[in-house]
Amino acid sequence: MNVTKAEMIITAGLSSQFPVHDMPEIAFAGKSNVGKSSLLNAMLNRKALARTSSQPGKTQTINFYNVQDTYMFVDLPGYGYAKVSKTDRERWGKLIEGYLEKREQLKKIILLIDIRHEVGNNDKMMYDWIKHYHNEVIVVATKMDKIKRSQVQKHLSMIRKGLNLMPEDKLVGFSSETKQGKEELWKIIEEIQEM
């Protein structure tokens, strides 16, 4: 999709603030600093629509973006930041669970994993959590430009193994720097209209 229109609709800290609309939603999840804001900006042809994190783990909100009046992109708050208090972590859990559990128009969930790192317990929990509510997860391995091309397949299979991905789960390599993987990810998102 050639995105010419993308706008933030709301930053929701409570499920009562989730917007009412009839577009399919695509949600993006991942550990803080995984490159989620950068990926959203790359997908939406924008430099700084989604804010790249100066204070990782601090944003406990779900941000909704109207994309071309066709999709609603949903930026879920990042996890795994050590300095977050227990209260904040619980709030995070409630907010995300409220979203995953109840959102009928949620059609695809994209889980981001840094291609350089081992899959963490938080990532596994998130994957299992998503699987519990939806039967398909799209995993995106971010920052692909940071490793040698010859290492890419090895790292992708580490992620596949680490998360114990099911055959139906898609795994895409991505770089916000080079825009590698952007076309492929858009293609997967656009399959929704044929569903």
Residues at the interface with ligand GDP (CB under 6 A) = 30, 32-38, 52-53, 56, 78, 142-143, 145-146, 175-177
Least CB distance from residue 34 to ligand GDP, whole Å? 4
Polymer length of the chain: 195
Nearer to ligand GDP, 36 or 107 (CB): 36
Nearer to ligand GDP, 102 or 124 (CB): 124
Least CB distance from residue 75 to ligand GDP, whole Å? 8
Nearer to ligand GDP, 166 or 176 (CB): 176
Least CB distance from residue 18 to ligand GDP, whole Å? 20
Rg (CA), the chain: 16
Least CB distance from residue 156 to ligand GDP, whole Å? 15
**At residue 189, what are phi and psi to the nearest 5 degrees?**
-65, -40
* Contact criterion met (CB below 8 Å) for 32 and 96: no
Nearer to ligand GDP, 32 or 66 (CB): 32
**Integer CA distances (angstroms), 31 to 4, 68, 117, 150, 190, in order:** 28, 27, 11, 25, 25
Neighbours of 13 (CB within 10 A): 14
